[in-house]
Structure 1
């Protein structure tokens, strides 16, 4: 059993490893008025959802890869904060935090050390994602779209999918 002391009177106990994982998604140009995308991410410790976000991106993405890259960049800023919080609670994270992503192009851009004709327009501020991947803070892992629970935060879903994703997130 893993134990983490939050204060002298509050404890976080877990059957097994207290490992932070995340899921990130974006809907490309989902807002029909301004064609901006929506970013969504969810973070869990074990099977408990501890943080999530769904918000419209501030830029118009030129591709689904860019929309996903922007969303992953936003999720990585949250990862840094969550990892520091866990370290302050004496639960340091061993190895990179896995963030599941359903866009293989996004993963390739994050793992590449060069810009191409297709990616040079992505704002420099989002390339912090690359640095975090290179330094071993985060690891982007492919997750098929059909298994991406962060979809619940970015797009309309049918009842069955919606219910299944809520269950995966430990929500009712």
Structure 2
């Protein structure tokens, strides 16, 4: 993506002389419960967030920040505007950052999924985040609030696994339509032991019957050899970057794992 777009955004917000931020959004933010005054120019806020949404199509590192900012387009508050400006200051420090699509891809599809249980303080709905790799290159990602309230973290993680399985199956079908066979089971990484146990041993009882459809769906995908779920430590969970605001050290570590780099850096 052209650096002119970044320059236009930074210039329009008057941040050419500002110090770059290390992350797109502050860790442990409380923006959803902000009680600051309403921002005086909501149209300016909508315009800025709209441009950030456009950038997030090629910048996975912006996904979570954009997810938070875009929920308050109708009546943004001053704190939200300042958070949006922080995201711009983050862009100022890395205008050439992007995804490097490797030419020696093995065409193996891998999925990573995560959830942040009851993360929305207004609705107590959980946030899901997933990421799909083709070989070593990220090709699809998303941050989304779940449709219903999960009664446990395992349930929230399990719903995230189910949605990611949908995405993995779609990409497998897409490759097949292009004449590319994908005989191996697609790897799916999750950091919840409980959700993985339910997926492999779906013994239904009163605590899981409300997600019974997802259980059968995921179990069938495992038995048919479509996906192969595996456990990964939370600190190594790449989808963690899509469900919560991280400190700079962990954020930069995961960016490296996502194969996101400065495309303008000398080789």
- TM-score when normalising by structure 1: 0.87
Could you tell me which of 131, 140, 144 is aligned with 2:220? 131
Say whether the 8 Å CA contact 1:111–1:134 is kept in structure 2.
no
Question: 2:139 maps to which residue?
Answer: 50
Question: 2:152 maps to which residue?
Answer: 63
Say whether the 8 Å CA contact 1:70–1:126 is kept in structure 2.
no
Describe the shift of the 1:63–1:89 C-alpha distance in structure 2 as closer, same or farther (beyond 3 A). same
**4+ residue segments displaced more than 6 Å:** none
For the pair 1:106 / 2:185, whether they are aligned, the reply is no
Where structure 2 has 5 or more consecutive residues not aligned to the other structure, the ranges are: 1-100, 262-267
Question: 1:77 maps to which residue?
Answer: 166
Q: What are the within-5 Å matches in structure 2 for residues 145-160 of structure 1?
A: 145-160=234-249
**Structure with a larger share of its residues in helix:** 2
Could you tell me which of 25, 28, 44 is aligned with 2:114? 25
Question: 1:8 maps to which residue?
Answer: none
Describe the shift of the 1:125–1:16 C-alpha distance in structure 2 as closer, same or farther (beyond 3 A). closer
Give the structure with higher Rg (CA): 2
Question: 1:167 maps to which residue?
Answer: 256
- Output the CA distance in 1 between the equivalents of 2:142 and 2:107: 21
Describe the shift of the 1:109–1:70 C-alpha distance in structure 2 as closer, same or farther (beyond 3 A). same
Question: 2:179 maps to which residue?
Answer: 90
- TM-score when normalising by structure 2: 0.57
Shift of 1:121: 2.5
Give me the CA root mean square deviation: 1.7
Please say which of residues 123-132 and 88-97 is displaced more in the overlay: 123-132
Say whether the 8 Å CA contact 1:102–1:145 is kept in structure 2.
yes
